[in-house]
Amino acid sequence: MTLWCGDEPLVLASQSRARRLLLENAGLACEAVPADVDERAIQSEAGLVAPYEVALHLATAKARAVAAIRPGSYVLGADQTLALGERMFNKPAGRQQAMHQLLALAGRTHALHSAIAVVRNGEVLFSHVAVAWMTMRTLSESDVAAYLDTAGQAVMSSVGAYQLEGLGVHLFDRIDGDHFTILGLPLLPLLAYFRDARLLRF
């Protein structure tokens, strides 16, 4: 059963399991078609530096890339950036980088910008950027090592090296923002758009 009632399917232009599960748990069956794009090259060519602009530009680029090979479909692209002051982080390449990133974030507040864009036949029908402010506990190197030992390889799939709905919750003192934004998909404004566009059964 799906709540999607569009005359064409919903396609998620993302490899993210978290994003796909958020949509499926909301009753929106979708086809996942990761966008085959070079995110760093797109960001560099656009000359963007503001975290929310980077997230929006990449989400739109991913949606456009998949919409070009799925004519007629409603294609949802998404992207999340993590910023600590002027410094932006990407997904850690391995344990050592995850250790360094988490020690840099510890005891401070970083911003997660999550952007979404819906593209159909080359037209951007909807886009949105949301931000969450994440205040991490003061952590020692042994604290981070124990976390990484326990959380394992999964941390490499998140831009901040944590899954908030999992063991990542132990890293934080305070969170200001929407749960879905933190997981990388601002679901409430997306559902509002789909509802207004009469693409949902209710």
Q: Which residues are catalytic?
A: 79
Nearer CB in complex with ligand GTP: 60/80? 80
Nearer CB in complex with ligand GTP: 4/162? 162
Q: How far is the CB of 195 from ligand GTP (least distance, A)?
A: 23
Q: How far is the CB of 113 from ligand GTP (least distance, A)?
A: 10
- The pair of structure tokens assigned to 103 is 């020690």
Q: How far is the CB of 202 from ligand GTP (least distance, A)?
A: 26
Residue ranges in contact with ligand GTP by CB under 6 A: 14-16, 18-19, 34, 78-80, 91, 158-160, 162-165, 168, 182-184
Nearer CB in complex with ligand GTP: 74/162? 162
Q: In the block, which residue shows the tokens 């509802």?
A: 195
Given a contact cutoff of 8 angstroms between Cβ atoms, the answer to whether 35 and 13 are in contact is: yes
